[in-house]
Structures are given as C-alpha cells and as structure tokens.
Amino acid sequence: MVATEVKASQRQRSSLTVASGAVGLSTVATRLAILVVMALLTRGAGTASAGYYGLATLSASLTAAALSLGFPTYLTRDVPAGLVSPAEVARIHWTRLGGLMIAAGVAFPLTAGLLPRAIGLGFFLFFGASLLEQWNETAWVLIRGTRSAWAEAVTNGCTGALLVTACAIDAGLRDGLSFADAAVFCVAAAVARSSAACLVVGVWRLGAGNAGFRLPVHVRRALPYFASDLLGLMYFRGDVFVLALFVAASHVGEYVSATAIVGPAVQVAASMSVGALAYAAPRAFTGGHTRDRRTIFEFFGVSGQAAAGLICLGLPVAVTILFGRAGHPILMLALILALFLAMRFANFGLSAILLARGRASSRLLVLVLSIAGNVALNLGLDGRFGAYGAAWATVLTELIVTGSLLWFVADRALTRAAAVKTASIAVIAGVMIGLLQGLVPEQVAPITGVLLLAASLASFLVQRRAPRPEHVPADAEGT
C-alpha cells in the first residue's frame, strides 16, 4: 500500500465559511451562467434545442460519474488529511483526462449516427464541454479546505460571465442564439475554465518523479465513494419514476417543475458539503484531530433554514412569472419541498462529518436505507395523494437520512442538536398546514418563509453564544 503523509501548515487552515461557502459560491456562479445561456438558447433556437442541451449534459454527467470511480470525493477527504500527496493528485487528474477523452472519442460516432445532422455536432460539443467541467473536480481538491479556496469561485464566476457575454452578443448580432453557436461558446468556456484550474492550483507541473504512485491502490480506496455517488443519483431521481406509475404525465410535470425550483439550492448544498469535507478532514498539524462537529452541523442547519426561508418568500412571484396561471399546484408542491431543503442542508453537514471520519461504507448503507424508505413512502402515498404524496415522501425520507447518519456518527451532542433542528422544522410544517386550511398558498408562502428565517436567526445566535472546542479527536465518540 502506498500512503504518503503530507504535513499541512497552519496557513492552510481556513474557516468553515471559506472552505464550504467558496464551493457553494462556485456552484452558484456556474448555475447562474447556465440559466442565462439556457434562456438565450430557448429564445433563439426553441425549446427542442434546450432539451437536446439537457440530454447532452445529462449523458456527460453519467459518463463522467462512471469513469470518475469516486475520485473527487475521495481526494477531497484524503488530500486535506495528508493521506494523498499533490503529485499523486496530479497523476490521477491527468489519468482521468485520458479516460474522459476516450469516452468523447466513443461518443462522437454515436452522436453522428443516432442524431439528426443539424444537431449532432452541437450535441457532441455540449457533451465534451460538460466532461471537461467534471474533470476539473480533481484539480480543485488541492485548494479546497485552504485559504485559497476562493480561487475556484472566482475562476468559475469569471469564465461564466465571459460565456454569458459571448452568448448575449451573438444573440444580439444574429437575431438569436443558435444551438451550434451556444455549443461552441460552452466548449470555449470549458477549455478556459479547465486551463485556469490547472494553472491556479499548479497541477500542470506536478506528478513528475512520483515513482511510488500506484493507481489501483487509490481506485480501491475510492470505490466506496463511487458506490455512494451512484446510489445518490438513484435517491434523487427515483421518486419521479415511482410517481409516474400512479399519476398522469401532467402531474409528473408539475412535480418536476417544483423540484426544479429548489433543485439549484440542493446542488449548492451538495457543493458546500464538499468544502465541508475538506474542512472537516483530520489534519496532520492537529495530531489527527478533526474540526468541531457541532459547528459543521449548525453551519449547514442555519444555512438550510435561511435558504428555504428565502425561497418561500420569493415563491409567489417566481412561480407566477415562470408558470403563469398553471403555477398554483407547482407553488403548493414547492412550498412542501422547501421543508425538504432545510432538512437536506443539515443532512449534508452530517454526511460530511461521517465521510471525514473515513466512513464511506457507512454512508453507503445510509443511501441504501434512504432509497428503500423513499420507494416505500412513495408507493404508500403517491397512489392516494398524487404529486403531493411524492413531495411529502421526499420530506419524510430526510428523517430516515437524519436518523441513519446520526446512528453511524454516534455523537450525542449532534443527536441533541439534530433533534432540536428537526423539531423546529416540524413545528413550522404544522403551522404551514394549519394556515393552508384558511389561506391560499400565495399568502402562506411568505409567512412560512419568515418563520424559517426566524428559526435560522435563532439558531445562529445560539451557536454564536455556545462555547465549544476547536478540535475533536477523529475517533472520539460523543459525550
């Protein structure tokens, strides 16, 4: 076994806000750019082109996930912990590029043969651009969890702004953005972003002279993370499949539209959990101690309640603008899913704590339990309540996730904190249900938002006043 310990300096230590928030800001910057490009593409080339774009990026995400073998999450945990050297990261990074290029080479004749000639090239370019975006993950791990973590958000924000500018100019000059032009711009942005990632973290000059590097060892260590990633995809997509067995396509569409409203916030939370994992990993310079777990959990809990509250405040206006008169059921579903978002944030924090302790296999079991619970809840609720049953099944599944994570983390202080957080959300849910008996959703949504924001503020103030140690032994149990 090859194990390289890297002594991290005190200068590498960062706050949780920088370690986690920077990754979240990076995702926000990327998602905003994609949103604007999608809007321009839809206006210029029609909804069919936007659909092909979605299929291309989804295909690339699945391909990259299959070929990544869990390396992004594995390295995010083990690099800050000092278990993988920067040179080894570079070798893995460039090896991944070779695998993704082979996948692109296989995809090119397939897209040319299966798709109409007018969109085949553009589809392939979107596919390739998305592959490059996935590749960057193993470069950014070298600065995640350090005071240089802001560079990821700045790089993605600047390249995203350039992409939006180029697409907007093209749309203005050519009376609309075409599918092929948008694909070319996305590839250019992906190349620029990938090149910047290599230059910023210095991965281009690493990897030479690393005679002890053995890829199979790292593959074996990363496999538990790989399995968790695949099961995670099943968890987030399985409810739509079950719902489709019970209701008409129009109701499935309403549910998918509602999930799309909270979806970006969930993706931001997932990205923030990657930063939290880098922050929480046991550091060599702390003698194998990890960061205070309570701080990590409270950070995600406060962020989740605040994000859910802000979404609820903006729901009436946003749904009206996006969906018009057909938005009433979507507003109701999104209001329920806002509760899921608050709980999902907190569970991402617990998941980061579990992974920081090297318990990837335990998280795998959590996902298995969550998938089983989600399917059972959907089978029990969807037939009777339709899309609303699916929404509440999604919320209730998070209780299973919370309980499973707390069982494996085995920290009494975290259990108490999670119980308080869950109880506050349950109270807000009860108030929301009661208000819906006499008020319309457009009135209930802002009230629910205010309650969630108040709960977030209260949690933040309590957290600020509660003293706690900076580090906790990596293998210590809760007291």
pLDDT of res. 89? 80
Residues contacting 55, CB < 8 A, separation 6+: 123
pLDDT of res. 115? 78
Check whether 17 has a pLDDT greater than 60.
Answer: no
Residues contacting 82, CB < 8 A, separation 6+: 5, 6, 7, 8, 283, 284
Check whether 426 has a pLDDT greater than 90.
Answer: yes
pLDDT of res. 151? 78
Cβ contact 353:282 at 8 Å: no
Check whether 177 has a pLDDT greater than 90.
Answer: no
Highest mean pLDDT among 133-147, 177-191, 280-294: 177-191
Nearest alpha carbon to residue 76 among 138, 166, 148: 138
Whole-angstrom CA distances from 160 to 29, 39, 136, 156, 163 are 7, 15, 15, 6, 5
Check whether 477 has a pLDDT greater than 70.
Answer: no
Residue 136 CB-density burial (10 A; 0-12 exposed, 13-18 middle, 19+ buried): buried
User: What's the CA gap between 9 and 121, in Å, rounded?
Assistant: 48
> For the ranges 181-195, 274-288, 346-360, 397-411, which has the lowest average pLDDT?
274-288
Check whether 286 has a pLDDT greater than 80.
Answer: no
- The mean pLDDT of 152-162, rounded to a whole number, is 82
- The mean pLDDT of 424-439, rounded to a whole number, is 92
Check whether 359 has a pLDDT greater than 60.
Answer: yes
Angle between helices 215-244 and 86-114 (to 10 degrees): 50
User: What's the CA gap between 218 and 68, in Å, rounded?
Assistant: 12
> For the ranges 28-37, 180-189, 426-435, which has the lowest average pLDDT?
28-37
User: What's the CA gap between 233 and 57, in Å, rounded?
Assistant: 15
Instruction: Give residue 56's pLDDT band: very low, low, confident or very high (50, 70, 90).
Output: confident
- The mean pLDDT of 95-113, rounded to a whole number, is 85
What percent of the residues of the chain are helix, what percent strand, and what percent coil, each to the nearest 5? 80, 0, 15
Nearest alpha carbon to residue 232 among 397, 59, 455, 358: 397
CA dihedral 354, 281, 230, 400 (to 10 degrees): 20
Check whether 448 has a pLDDT greater than 90.
Answer: yes
Concatenate the DSSP letters of all residues of 378-426 into one string. Answer: HHHHHHHHTHHHHHHHHHHHHHHHHHHHHHHH--HHHHHHHHHHHHHHH
> For the ranges 166-170, 247-251, 293-297, which has the lowest average pLDDT?
247-251
> Using one digit for the tens of pLDDT, what is the confidence trace for 183-228?
888 889 889 888 888 888 877 666 544 545 576 777 777 777 776 6
User: What's the CA gap between 157 and 162, in Å, rounded?
Assistant: 9
Nearest alpha carbon to residue 360 among 218, 226, 214, 217: 226
* Between residues 39 and 330, the one the model is more confident about: 330
Cβ contact 189:163 at 8 Å: yes
- The mean pLDDT of 331-342, rounded to a whole number, is 89
177 conformational bin, left if phi > 0, alpha if psi -120 to 50, beta if neither: beta
The percent of residues above 70 in pLDDT, for the chain, comes to 68
User: What's the CA gap between 274 and 290, in Å, rounded?
Assistant: 15
Residue 304 CB-density burial (10 A; 0-12 exposed, 13-18 middle, 19+ buried): buried
Nearest alpha carbon to residue 308 among 331, 332, 329, 334: 334
User: What's the CA gap between 284 and 293, in Å, rounded?
Assistant: 18
pLDDT of res. 435? 92
Please provide residue 109's backbone torsions phi and psi, each rounded to the nearest 5 degrees. Answer: -65, -30
Task: Give the ranges where 115-214 is alpha helix by DSSP (H).
Answer: 117-135, 137-140, 150-173, 179-201
pTM over 0.85: no
Tokens for 452, please give them. 């969630």
Which DSSP state fits 478? P
Instruction: Give residue 434's pLDDT band: very low, low, confident or very high (50, 70, 90).
Output: very high
pLDDT of res. 334? 86
Instruction: Give residue 452's pLDDT band: very low, low, confident or very high (50, 70, 90).
Output: very high
Mean pLDDT of the chain: 75
User: What's the CA gap between 246 and 299, in Å, rounded?
Assistant: 38
Cβ contact 120:112 at 8 Å: yes
* Between residues 9 and 215, the one the model is more confident about: 215
Token pair 């593959």 in the structure block, residue: 219
Check whether 122 has a pLDDT greater than 80.
Answer: yes
Cβ contact 344:266 at 8 Å: yes
Nearest alpha carbon to residue 278 among 164, 168, 147, 395: 147
Instruction: Give residue 107's pLDDT band: very low, low, confident or very high (50, 70, 90).
Output: confident
